[in-house]
Amino acid sequence: MTKDNLSEIFHSIKKLMKKYEPPFESMSDYDSGYELISKKEVEIAGRKRKEIYFAGLIIRSKYVGFYYMPVYAKPEVKKVFKPGLLKLLKGKSCFHIKNLDAELIRQIDVALKLGFGIYKKNGWV
């Protein structure tokens, strides 16, 4: 895996995420990291928050980490992931992406749309 390949993966996914800015705001936006948050004050599980994390990207040495927080809000969202995306899930919300094809990019796009819908329905954005 070359750094150029990882950079290409990063920028392809970042382009999908940028569609949600606004209403989300970029907490960080640089060549190897990008994060989206909602600055809306919300209460979740009895705790008040000034912001809520939506999704993020970071280039690591051997993969691009795609952090997708809607799985915490609605864990059953994982049921809509196809095997291509699901097999990249490490832990609860981080996907380790080493290769990107048209099908995987479509799955990430669908996941972002679904996550945005969840946040909107909950009044978090």
The two tokens of residue 87 are 């097999």
What whole-number distance in Å separates Cα of residue 36 and Cα of residue 102? 23
Query: pTM for the complete prediction?
Result: 0.87
What are the DSSP E strand ranges found in 7-92? 25-30, 33-38, 42-44, 47-49, 52-59, 64-68, 89-90
Residues 90-121 have pLDDT tens digits of: 888 899 999 999 999 999 999 999 999 999 99
Residues 1-17 have pLDDT tens digits of: 555 699 999 999 999 99
The pLDDT-based confidence of 24 (bands split at 50, 70, 90) is very high
Residues 44-95 have pLDDT tens digits of: 778 888 889 899 999 999 999 999 989 887 877 877 788 888 888 888 889 9
Domains of the chain by start residue, with CATH: 3-118 (3.90.1150)
Kindly give the residue spans of alpha helices, DSSP state H, lying in the chain.
3-18, 70-73, 83-86, 102-121
pLDDT at position 2: 57
What number of other Cβ atoms are within 10 A of residue 34's Cβ? 22
The residues near 69 (Cβ < 8 Å, ≥ 6 apart) are: 52, 53, 54, 55, 93, 115
